[in-house]
Amino acid sequence: MKVVIVGGVAAGPKAASRIIRMMPNADITIVEKDLFLSYAGCGLPYYVSGEIKEQRELMETSAGVVRDATFFLHVKNLKVKNHTEALEIDRKNKRVHVKSVATGDKAWLHYDKLVLATGASPVIPPIPGVDKKNVFTLHGVHDAEGIKKVLAQHKAKDVVIIGGGLIGVEATEALATHGCRVTIVEMLPQILNMLDWEIARLVENYVETNGVRVMTGTKAIALENRGETDDIVTHVRTDKGDLPADIVILAIGVRPNVSLAQKAGLTIGEKTGAIQVDDHMRTSDPDIYAAGDCVECIDRLTGQPCYVPLGSTANKQGRVAAVNICGGNEVFPGVLGSSICKVFDYCAARTGLTERAAKDLGYELITAMVPGVDRAHYMPKSKILLMKIVADKNTGRLLGVQVTGPGEGAKRVDVAATAITAGMTLDQLAHLDLSYAPPYASAMDNLITAANVARNKRDGFMIGIPAEAVQRKIQNGEDFVFLDVRTPNEYEQVHLPKSTLIPLGALRRRLSEIPRDKEVITYCAISLRGYEASLILRAAGFTDVKVLDGGIAMWPFDREIP
């Protein structure tokens, strides 16, 4: 069998490697437009930062062997034509027209099965100056090398990153590591649009504590030069003022590379603009498969097409395509949008639906904001993890989880992804038999605690109120009691605006100080004591008692520090 694979970074090499294992006599050719093969694109920010020292480390196997054309030929028995562009697909005669980038020579490659793994390209905004020398994306090895060169030669100090998504945020840390003054310019009201705004705001607040300026709701208008050399940018003009810039990073997002598929008449998804495939990774032509960042996925919760380009997804899809090319019957079931990124010492991660997305789909929801340490609180390495959980109020089914903070978030999001895939409810989640030892987790894991908080809300034991609603009450001058039940020492260090202190231990004997005709909102550091206080108040006959979701730890607005 002759197999031609267009694309040599993630899905393509994965498909090729699986095919040759299943069919050792297959004739496989990988066509890759770029010079570099099978490199770890997600590692580029860490190469820019210097955490990854050598370029070759991005292209090595776990055994330290570089995945180049020689490696693929001698180890995998795969032919590789890198620096070669696929020009067109002749579906009738089952062949691909290719051209050498170096020499211009053209040839036809015949196939029995074709795999399109053409990936995606960075979005370049239609604004003046994007073609100047010190303007980069962070999409390939060439971009990373260009950024490192400018950092080394010109000692760049001011960096403007246009776009506050995953790529932009990861690039922020990489450049701040070099001592750069970094500004993120994001047109949307928040960075990291994969998260609900409260979680994104917590990340934004933390980023700013690391010296990064974040300008949300801001549009870049032009990249300008105000010096003697016209081919570089010196300033970024925005609708909120001008920013000096020695380097500009365009991190707006990516679009699927579908021109080859379009010209061949393959079906393109109307909603996503990516190549439409079935659950076997077949395109509208049964002899042509597609995988990776060029294809649309199906959301496992909604059943709707979506576009979530991730290296993890690309590798899984490449394997599924390979199995089916070899006569197997493997299904790719879709995605939950599980994503994670490192933000200085914080993680920011999610899986499933955000509250915003779930509401748009018509769900009636239970949500809970639950901070807590990621292991036994008495362990010296314990760190706070800030979690939001989203569930269907009518069925109790878990719909989504988001986390941020310095604590261990990856394993909680991964457990949540598994639970969502299994269709688990809050009750089932709360009784998961998760591993426990003080150095690794608390006796009641963060995810189990979050499920229990949501169950308490569902069952009426706790009435929560989001920070946004409390902030609105404060701004509108509404008359309510904002009750801090921490210790006096904690209150003196930091507290929330318009709040009154009555420590939890003194609450029962000081009930007379609290007006019974007013709404009472209780809080503490993480709202555990706030919850206890609400139970005391309700048992004492107070009828309008709520608990601030997430307490001070997840309050996204300004706090009062005496």
The residues annotated as belonging to the active site are 42
528: number of Cβ within 10 Å? 18
Given phi > 0 = left and psi -120 to 50 = alpha, else beta, which region is 543? alpha
Instruction: Identify residue 439 by its one-letter amino acid code.
Output: P
The terminus-to-terminus CA distance of the chain in angstroms comes to 74
Q: How far apart are CA 382 and CA 407, in angstroms?
A: 7
Indicate the angle between helix axes 311-325 and 11-22, nearest 10 degrees.
Answer: 30
Contact at 8 Å (CB) between 389 and 367?
yes
Quick one: DSSP state of residue 179?
A: T
Q: How far apart are CA 275 and CA 292, in angstroms?
A: 10
SS3 442: coil
Calculate the CA 376 to chain-centre distance.
27
Q: How far apart are CA 273 and CA 252, in angstroms?
A: 17
- Helix, strand and coil percent figures for the chain, each rounded to 5: 30, 25, 45
Instruction: Tell me which residue has tokens 């997600």.
Output: 42
Instruction: Identify residue 251 by its one-letter amino acid code.
Output: A
Residue 387, strand partner residues: 370, 403
